[in-house]
Chains A and B, each alone.
Chain A
Amino acid sequence: MERKIRVLVSKVGLDGHDRGAKVVARFLRDAGFEVIYTGLHRTPQEVAMAAVQEDVDVIGISLHSGAHMALVPKVLNYIKEYGGDPDELVVLVGGIVPEDEFDDLKAIGVDGIFIPGTPISKIVDFIKEIAPKKKRSKMEKMEN
């Protein structure tokens, strides 16, 4: 049987706004994904380590602190440092992100940015569409 898509939902940094992360985690689980939620106040190292150890397909990073441009690159760098490859992951950012910073996040490897009010079905569809492509590229790399 094919493995379920594994999603890490994470809260990184000092902000305690976890309503969005928890609701998204619950709905992704209900949509048939395997979901791991990190809990609050994780450091970039902890989140990266969890992503690598749990061998997830998708990493969602929730921030309401305005610190995304500082913390998201750190998470991705630590994933590399711990032997993972962020390019093979679907990287999602959710929370309060000004629209003019979407491109900055995409430039460092974020695949999707979801602001408040996004229907969760849209996140589900996005993952279903992108995750298999990422997985294929991962397989191809392994074969080469």
Chain B
Amino acid sequence: MDVRKDVEEIKKKREEWDKSCLQPYLKKGGEREEKFENLSWIEIGRIYDPSDIEHLDFLKDVGYPGDYPFTRGVYPTMYRGRFWTMRQFSGFGTAEDTNARWKLLLKEGQTGLSTAFDFPTLMGLDSDDPLSDGEVGKVGVAIDTLRDFQILFEGIPLDRVSTSFTINPPAAIILAMYAAIGDEQGVPREQLRGTIQNDMLKEFHAQNTLILPPEPSVKIITDIFEWGIENVPKFNLISISGYHIREAGSTAVQELAFTIADGMAYVEAAIERGIDIDKLSPQLSFFFNSHNDFFEEIAKFRAARRMWAKIMRDEYGAKNPRSWWLKFHTQTAGCSLTAQQPLNNVVRTTIQAMAAVLGGTQSLHTNSFDEAWALPSEEAVRVALRTQQIIAYESGIPNTIDPLGGSYYVEWLTDKVEKLAWDYIERIRKMGEGSVLRGVLAGIENGFFVKEITNAAARFQREVEENKRIIVGVNKFTIEEKIKIPILKVDPEVQRRQIERLKRVRAERDNVAVKEALDWLRNAAENNENVMPAIIEAVKAYASVGEIMGVLKSVYGTYKKPIII
């Protein structure tokens, strides 16, 4: 990168320093490790100077925020304009329980809602399905029909909040329910703001919320794109997620590479459908993990923006500069939380949250310190939210944009992470004979993604077992302790109450209208038409999540994941 001193002069000086200053010192003491590696096993140098980044061009590779390639941020003012959205993911029990928790969070200063669903809802099952037994309302809110959504959003005006939904196979159903609530509240659909996760590809790689096979899953996602750009233009129709890939044990580089590849796959599917990508792009969003290796995470976020800008402009030919933006949500790393000495997690989460902010995130979820034990208690959630507020209001970090831009190390690492991620993307593209979409589908089919992630997880665990990786309180600085943290318990009555409500809805609704809507849906699916209009009709007739997914399963079949250890 351009520097005032001539790079040759710097290199010469560095050699001198190495010989006359460093080497004698090393002879006396040596260093802590033979080799320093980050969490992606990238070897980290002793020191970086302008000669390490001489191949970079400040204007071309770094530049200014709000301007291509957006390395420094998507907005020209970033957090000087407004802070990131503080969006804590929450939900448990029945819709009433979650509605109450949301109202508390809004009162505490949270600025966006984020919904956690229970496993039956995530897996497209009704609360009275035998497979749902014991899981209703456990890790999130139970949703069976529109009736539950009406209760969930009681007293929450949809024109005033944006709501994020962590939902994948049933994403179309949840989006339809949200639109229906908007209709009931008299909020025009074009004003609805929020996000559905709706990213099935990463489910196959990592998160495993699997119902339909990969190809129909992508088909329905593309249906949602097609419907969404016309009907809910302010809604993020997908949150292309690396979070879960990372939680499953990937490195930061794999997280970045696989997420960007998935994003490319969705864009290619949209292009195949004839969707105008300049229209779709503003409604794409991303979701990353923020893990422990502080600088690597910052580098990853910066590299992600730069890669996506290049991809959208140069590969897919998007014309509108707005289409080149990579906007993202971040969650601190759940897998980094320790059950041991749980208060230490507050510190881990703070470091990770700072990396997300220094990396230019648009919204952030900070984990609570008790989450290696259970769903977070109110106190723990409050500390997590306060962590963000302290970074925002007290640390001074948000006062200047991309403060680490120009750091020799951070620029070197941003470039390194980007290069390694491109290597993966080219491998994936090759598997698809030039198409990233086909390459990702092939990688799901042949186990490429799962093997890569599983091997990284095992390698990490091996290093922990051998004490090569230190986790404070786990394999070093351990204590005998009795864990005394108040733990949120979900009322065991939730399942019974939820099933009762579902039965009541089934008895009171117009079952002819339900059948007609479900028949329409079956027809649309069988004839390869867009399924969204029929799903909206079905939702409004109070068809349940299980009934709607049931139709899709009967048309498209179900997916069983191959076993790879």
Contacts and interface: CB of A to CB of B under 8 A. Distances in A.
B454 interface: yes
B457 A66 contact: no
Interface residues of B, number: 46
Contacts of B374: 66, 96, 98
B457 A19 contact: yes
B119 A65 contact: yes
Contacts of B86: none
Contact of B487 (A22, A23, A70, A98): A98
A25 B134 CA distance: 25
B458 A23 contact: yes
Interface string A14-54: 11111100110111010000010111110100000000000
A100 B119 CA distance: 23
Interface string A50-66: 00000000000000011
Contacts of A74: 134
Contacts of A71: 134
Contacts of A98: 373-374, 487
A71 B131 CA distance: 10
A124 to B, nearest CB: 10
B138 interface: yes
B133 interface: yes
Contacts of B120: 14
Given A40-B208, A117-B339, A96 B373 contact: yes
Contacts of A115: 339, 372-373
Contacts of B131: 14, 43
Contacts of A37: 563, 565
Nearest to B250: A19
**Among A23, A35, A43: residue with most chain B CB under 10 A:** A23
Given A13-B134, A40-B561, A66 B139 contact: yes
B207 interface: yes
Given A19-B248, A23-B457, A25-B565, A66 B138 contact: yes
B565 A22 contact: yes
A67 interface: yes
B139 A65 contact: yes
B135 interface: yes
Given A13-B135, A23-B249, A119-B475, A100 B561 contact: no
B22 interface: no
Contact of B461 (A16, A27, A35): A27
Nearest to A69: B134
Nearest to B338: A117
B339 A19 contact: no
Given A16-B210, A26-B565, A117-B338, A99 B461 contact: no
Interface in A96-121: 96, 98-100, 115-117, 119-121
Interface string B41-83: 0000000000000000000000000000000000000000000
Interface in B103-130: 119-120, 122-123, 125
Contact of B457 (A22, A35, A38): A22
Interface string B526-565: 0000000000000000000000000000000000110101
A111 B312 CA distance: 55
Interface of B is mostly: loop
B239 interface: no
Given A98-B487, A99-B483, A19 B372 contact: no
A59 to B, nearest CB: 17
B375 interface: yes
Contacts of A69: 134
B471 interface: yes
**Among A29, A41, A43, A66: residue with most chain B CB under 10 A:** A66
A118 to B, nearest CB: 8
B3 interface: no
A30 B133 CA distance: 35
B211 to A, nearest CB: 10
Contacts of B133: 70
A133 B138 CA distance: 36
Contact of A65 (B138, B248, B475, B560): B138
B347 interface: no
B122 A14 contact: yes
Contacts of B122: 14
A23 B455 CA distance: 9
B209 interface: yes
Interface in B324-355: 335, 337-340
A17 B16 CA distance: 52
Contacts of B247: 17, 19
A116 B249 contact: no
A143 to B, nearest CB: 37
B230 interface: no
Contact of A121 (B248, B249, B465): B465
Contacts of B139: 15, 65-66
A37 B450 CA distance: 15
10 contacts: A15-B135, A18-B208, A19-B457, A38-B563, A39-B561, A65-B135, A66-B139, A69-B134, A98-B487, A120-B461
Interface of A: 13-19, 22-23, 25-27, 29, 35, 37-41, 43, 65-67, 69-71, 74, 96, 98-100, 115-117, 119-121
Given A14-B123, A23-B458, A119-B464, 5 more contacts: A13-B135, A14-B135, A39-B561, A39-B563, A100-B487
